[in-house]
Chain A
């Protein structure tokens, strides 16, 4: 309650302050040369005192006192513009940015002004550009946004070629991954070797490790906000780009219509390892399938100056088929419709509908096999959100609104696949939920040096029927099921609610340095049932209920930010401390698949993590890149697990170092390198052995008490652009890379298994690791 009171007091204080100001609005829209809106463009006064960034529709708004101003509009990949304006009433500007051919324009990760890391209230954001990404070594030549995010401080990885994100001690299911506001429940292709995000289709990606804006919620550890590109680049009604690689190829077409009022972009990517199988002389081999594909589409239309609509969609799938007897597939489908409406020059509204599906299916056995079956899991979500922005003056920027989400969870549908099957059809009870939220926030400039960003999110979660709740005589793990309650459709099974304060403060020390403080609380009401470190596709999600209580986290963070040499160098040091309640972990030997009493496999307790993150980035010059180092600890302490003693989380790594460099040797040739070092992750290995019958088994010590050897890897690449010729539309580049250059002499184990050799009978520890080195070549083009 005290948070609510504080928030209300602050809100009304702010309103009072608003009324005391006399300012004018300078608003407008920033588009590229084809009329497509540009998000993340920095619009500011020349002294930097007043500034803003454009939203997803290219709209911006500044509140300035009467006077003459030089407005600077800047965006990476475009030429900076300056406009001198006389402000004595409200002004609306239309700004068209001209592409800077010396710079790339495709992706901006966390779009920021050159010194915005110092001046804004955000903590944990880092700006990367596609130019930096594309010239860096990439596994199999596939540029991957998520893999680049993994190199940022505070982000841990599970192993080689894995796209799972472990942010500041949080689990892989604690990241809210949004594609144009639609949640993605499994962001991996090929068991996590690639993420589902085609770099050609993405406009921006922003990772929040702390201070998640109050209009977002539902996950504990991070928000990865990915925006798909708006079509119509390069002043052309039609243009295309793509790439041909060793694993996959991709093609993107885009353009505008109706005199630039509308735009479209469609992008596709497919891997084709299976196509080579067709060359096999073995007919059984030719039946095998092993590929993934994804499709992205987005259309926008500007109806008038106050109304615009964008619809976008993602569809992707992985397909595995072996010998006609084993098939597995999984994929996501998302859809977003976003209506942007400008009420007045001070109030904007985004009304957003999203739909998201994740499906997994597995089929085993032939049609006449009595042991053949099909198995399906999935989750479906429909959401609607209204997000208002109210910018009354230069000292306040309000966000407020509401959202509602409805979900259906299919935890397992098991169907016999032959008429003489030994199995019976089984449906693990489906779950349903409704989640709503009210949110409000205000970025308040208290003085030239001190800015507060505070908000509150009130969430409510209902676990609704149909459903069945089992009852036990004690804890479900140790007790016995005594009966169950069956709920009808729409019946409320559980209701949870929580208040999430989000507070950040920034104090400017000088024109190049600032300190920031932050606190945020997040709740998570859906839980991924997974006991592995790799993003396996058959994970299921369950809603909070009697046994899976809502997970919550409190995060305290502090940071020092300093830029050097005219923002050529960006440095920061951040510290954080997080405490989790109702953190989930699994009993030894947990059985999670097709288990209608999944609550018998888990305990909940507390967890905590803390660490320090160091970041140095060079943004200008022939040599660019960054160094990130994270020193961190992640613990859990859960009654019933590890004898109730604390233990390391499975993704705990003490040291994590990333050195990323790109060196432009000439106008056409760029050299890239990446070095990664990390403490080995903890896991369980037997510290003793014994024989039962003729099987050799192990005795295991405390959970996660053994630590894998340290991980380190060097990747190199070279990118050669085609010669630019006057009048030639086609532009191409070759990218050659080697992943894990010295991997032939050193292994980075994903994991270690203890086993009895099937041939020799010897007991042994076996490292499982990603093959290395992996060379690749990719040809990229656009016209």
Chain B
């Protein structure tokens, strides 16, 4: 429903926009952690630090941390730094549905940790790609549609990523996360908003999320599409899943990938 705010913001067509040269003082440097663990795969983590908001450089990935993954059965694995991938990677512990994991990062004398459960993803049926005319919401083109059933008796949270010919079509300013609130249960051709090529393989990746991870992505979306608080909720810090002042997400997800081949001339 946040999209209503975004639509209204976009409706203020009579307003003007201009890039301005202001430089709010740079705040305290923060440790940034993003860690992922998917079903039947090993974990990886990327650690950086925050920088000036207007920085044109991507902050370097930190390699001198100790990153440890724990499950709730007493097992633990220290993730190793992979120089090529520029991230910490696990080798043994793989994600299992319904298991709860804790990721701990020790860096420069401080410890940061986050706990997350890998929740089961009810599989969807299929995707199709359908040509849609131009509307106020969409450009004319071929769009991915999802079919399947969503449970309604329990809160569910999802993250979607779309690709066409292995190229992401998700976009750089929108995170496609959703919950099952207001949903009847039957998805009979839900337009995912992903514009695909007409001759291509289209793929949709569906991730299960915990509530904490969903809130992280939802708040990130608000930041990426905010209007400064004039019509919508003012942007604010995303709620970090990590302790001790680090900012970041530890996403444990059950994953389903649906694909189809688009052959429309």
Residues on A lying within 8 angstroms of B by beta carbon are 158-159, 191, 320, 322-323, 325-326, 328, 362, 364, 370-371, 375, 414, 416, 420-424, 426, 531-534, 536, 538, 586, 588-594, 650, 683-695, 697-701, 703, 706, 709, 747, 749-756, 758, 761-771
- B213 vs chain A, min Cβ distance (A): 11
> Complex formed: what's the CA distance from A423 to B186 in Å?
8
B135 interface residue, CB < 8 Å from A? yes
- B162 vs chain A, min Cβ distance (A): 14
B184 neighbours in A (Cβ, 8 Å): 416, 421-424
If A532-B233, A692-B220, A695-B220 touch, whether A701 touches B27 (CB-CB below 8 Å) is yes
- A610 vs chain B, min Cβ distance (A): 25
Q: What 7 pairs between A and B have smallest CB-CB spacing?
A: A751-B228, A687-B27, A588-B236, A424-B184, A689-B53, A589-B219, A688-B50
Tell me if B136 and A326 are in contact (CB < 8 A). yes
Residues on B lying within 8 angstroms of A by beta carbon are 1-2, 4-5, 7-8, 11-12, 14-22, 24-30, 32, 34, 48-56, 58-59, 135-137, 152, 172-173, 175, 181-191, 215, 218-220, 222-224, 226-239, 247-249
Tell me if B59 and A691 are in contact (CB < 8 A). yes
Which B residue's beta carbon lies closest to that of A593? B1
Tell me if A687 and B232 are in contact (CB < 8 A). no
A699 neighbours in B (Cβ, 8 Å): 27, 30, 50, 53, 237, 247
A590 neighbours in B (Cβ, 8 Å): 233
Tell me if B188 and A687 are in contact (CB < 8 A). no
A767 neighbours in B (Cβ, 8 Å): 17-20
A536 neighbours in B (Cβ, 8 Å): 5, 8, 231
Tell me if A692 and B34 are in contact (CB < 8 A). yes
A531 neighbours in B (Cβ, 8 Å): 229, 232-234
Tell me if A589 and B231 are in contact (CB < 8 A). no
- B32 vs chain A, min Cβ distance (A): 4
> Complex formed: what's the CA distance from A519 to B99 in Å?
61
Looking at B17, B186, B231, B248, which has the most chain A CB atoms within 10 Å of its CB? B231
B5 neighbours in A (Cβ, 8 Å): 536, 593
Q: Which of A323, A691, A765 contacts B19 (CB 8 A)?
A: A765
Which A residue's beta carbon lies closest to that of B228? A751
Which B residue's beta carbon lies closest to that of A774? B14
> Complex formed: what's the CA distance from A420 to B152 in Å?
17
> Complex formed: what's the CA distance from A293 to B14 in Å?
19
Which A residue's beta carbon lies closest to that of B235? A684
> Complex formed: what's the CA distance from A153 to B105 in Å?
55
Tell me if A591 and B12 are in contact (CB < 8 A). no
A594 neighbours in B (Cβ, 8 Å): 1, 181-182
Tell me if B18 and A769 are in contact (CB < 8 A). yes
Tell me if B215 and A589 are in contact (CB < 8 A). yes
If A532-B231, A761-B172 touch, whether A323 touches B53 (CB-CB below 8 Å) is no
- A68 vs chain B, min Cβ distance (A): 63
B228 neighbours in A (Cβ, 8 Å): 683, 750-753, 768
Tell me if A690 and B188 are in contact (CB < 8 A). no
Not counting A416-B184, A771-B14, a sample of 6 additional A-B residue pairs whose C-beta atoms are within 8 angstroms of each other reads: A650-B229, A690-B50, A691-B32, A691-B58, A701-B27, A769-B17
If A424-B183, A426-B182, A765-B19 touch, whether A695 touches B30 (CB-CB below 8 Å) is no
Q: Which of A687, A756, A766, A770 contacts B26 (CB 8 A)?
A: A687
Tell me if B15 and A690 are in contact (CB < 8 A). no
Which A residue's beta carbon lies closest to that of B138? A325
B30 neighbours in A (Cβ, 8 Å): 688, 690, 699
Which A residue's beta carbon lies closest to that of B216? A692
> Complex formed: what's the CA distance from A533 to B230 in Å?
5
A591 neighbours in B (Cβ, 8 Å): 1-2, 218, 233
Which A residue's beta carbon lies closest to that of B9? A768
A685 neighbours in B (Cβ, 8 Å): 22, 24
Which B residue's beta carbon lies closest to that of A369? B191
Tell me if B188 and A698 are in contact (CB < 8 A). no
Tell me if B183 and A771 are in contact (CB < 8 A). no
Q: Which of A325, A532, A592, A765 contacts B20 (CB 8 A)?
A: A765
Tell me if A322 and B136 are in contact (CB < 8 A). yes
Tell me if B137 and A325 are in contact (CB < 8 A). yes
> Complex formed: what's the CA distance from A571 to B14 in Å?
39
Tell me if A422 and B187 are in contact (CB < 8 A). yes
> Complex formed: what's the CA distance from A328 to B9 in Å?
13
